Amino acid sequence: MENLYQFSISGGIGASTYILVFIVGIVSAVLACYLPVLAMFADYAQKGSAGEKRKALAIAGNFIAGMAATSLLIGLIIALLGQQFLPFVEKHQLLDWIPPLFDILAGLQLLGVISFAMPAFQARLNRPDTPRSAWAAFKFGIPYGLVISPCAVPIFFALISYIALQGSPLHGALLMITYTLGKGVILAAVAAFSVSILRRLAKWGGPLKKIAGYFSIVIGILFLIIGFIK
């Protein structure tokens, strides 16, 4: 996990970074405050597939592809902007403390100590006249790539701050796509097994939120210490 905070202008990011970001994406999609989005999407996928799992997964795949397209663009833009500040970043060693600080804020948010809110666009997927073709699912996924649940705001900013400070457009795009694919695993599961999955997420969402909160704080403090010792 230390690779997540290793700065490299050449874009030397290890496989463990992508694995961690993928897991973070999964966690972001199972938090309690994301359940309304999952419920809305489950209804959309189930009505569009008439209960057939294969069709539901196809809808989910196109929806996730739309989200990934948005994430790719965000990753490119954030990394390109970050490149302009690389000399300043290197001089002040910003990567040693900015992402860990967001990790700590994410933990506090998950534990309910602080609260962040962020405007989010959400298409009305549950309207009766909403189209449910493959292309329609892709188009609806595009704006949902911008949807961030309140309890995941610090997590999201920890990721984009790392992308900006790392400054690699290629890895920036790939990391954002990886994060989206992590969320996509849950969306696909919900599309295929909506009722049972949502019940389990509702049951375990609270405990998982607390565990993730404490874990995030510990990781943030650990890397702050490592950054100051170096």
* Residue-wise pLDDT tens digits, 8-64: 333 456 788 899 899 989 988 877 667 767 777 877 787 777 767 788 888 889 999
The whole-number average pLDDT for the span 208-214 is 73
Can you give the residue range of the structural domain that contains 79?
A: 12-229
Residues near 82 by beta carbon (within 8 Å), at least 6 away in sequence? 89, 163, 164, 165, 166, 167, 172
- Specify burial of residue 97 (Cβ count, 10 A radius: 0-12, 13-18, 19+): middle
Does residue 1 sit within a domain?
no
Sign of CA dihedral 29, 202, 113, 40: positive
| Structure tokens given for 217 | 């704080």
Cβ contact 21:178 at 8 Å: yes
Does residue 46 sit within a domain?
yes
| Structure tokens given for 120 | 């989010």
Does residue 129 sit within a domain?
yes
Does residue 25 sit within a domain?
yes
Does residue 211 sit within a domain?
yes
Percent of the chain residues past pLDDT 90, beyond the cut: 16
pTM assigned to the model: 0.69
Does residue 37 sit within a domain?
yes
In the chain, the number of structural domains is: 1
Give rounded-to-5 percent helix, strand, coil for the chain.
Answer: 80, 0, 20
pLDDT of residue 123: 47
Higher pLDDT, 156 or 175: 175
CA end-to-end span of the chain: 17
**Crossing angle between the packed helical segments 169-192 and 153-166, to the nearest 10 degrees:** 150
Residues near 119 by beta carbon (within 8 Å), at least 6 away in sequence? none
Average per-residue pLDDT for the chain = 75
